[in-house]
Amino acid sequence: MTIRKALKKDSQQAAVLIYDAIHDIGEALTGETDPDKILQQLAAFFQSEGNRLSFENSYVKVEDGEVVGIIILYHGKDAEKLEEPIIAHLQSKFGDEGVDTDKEADLEDFYIDTLSVSPEHGGRGIGTALIECALLEAKERGYPTVSLNVEEENTGAMRLYSRLGFRVRKTIMINGKNYHYLVRGI
């Protein structure tokens, strides 16, 4: 099972996995409603440096040359700065007024922004391996906690995260939906 730092060249496959995980949040972050345009902009964010969806913040699981899983990580204290290029993109599309994104990460946590495994490769431990990668990265960087958000209705993901030691800290609103903010100590 090969997990490695993501590369710019992974952008097309990564965009599909990201969109599969974030659904309507993809529309909010890209300012697009057409799935092809959303994927195109997600790939552009992934290829660019210094934003929350960048390859720089990502690890991928690769099988037979295909990216089948992704995890995107950054520290909560960096979230606002990593959001700036996305807000700038939205402002270029819509102007300065009313462009904002939801705060997803607490300042003290190492945050899992996105976790996604292709449906064809689900149920084989890839998601767990990617989370273990995040936990190791947090430990190596000296971060005491790892956090993530999961939609309230996603009971399958809640079971996985609970089994891996994550606990609900609070419930927050992202793009008009309730999400549990889960945290685990290292």
* Residue 99, pLDDT above cutoff 80: no
Question: Look-up: residue for tokens 């939906």?
Answer: 177
CATH number at residue 65: 3.40.630.30
Number of domains in the chain: 1
For the chain, the average pLDDT equals 96
Task: Tell me how far apart the alpha carbons of residues 114 and 118 are, in angstroms, rounded to a whole number.
Answer: 13
Tell me the H-state helices in the chain: 11-22, 24-30, 35-47, 79-94, 126-141, 155-163
10 touches 18 (CB < 8 A): no
* Residue 116, pLDDT above cutoff 70: yes
Task: Report pTM.
Answer: 0.95
Q: Which residues contact 169 (CB under 8 A, 6 or more apart)?
A: 106, 147, 181, 182, 183
Helix (H) or strand (E) holding 61: strand 58-63
Q: Which of 164, 13, 181, 39 is nearest to 112 (CA)?
A: 181
Residue-wise pLDDT for 117-151, tens only, equals 999 999 999 999 999 999 999 999 999 999 999 99
Instruction: Look up the domain containing 115 and give its range.
Output: 2-185
HSE-CB at 48 with a 13 A cutoff on CA atoms is: 16
116 touches 21 (CB < 8 A): yes
- The separation between CA 97 and the C-alpha centre of its own chain, rounded to angstroms, equals 26
- Per-residue confidence (pLDDT) for residue 95, from 0 to 100: 85
Q: Where does the pLDDT of residue 98 fall: very low under 50, low under 70, confident under 90, or very high at 90 and above?
A: low
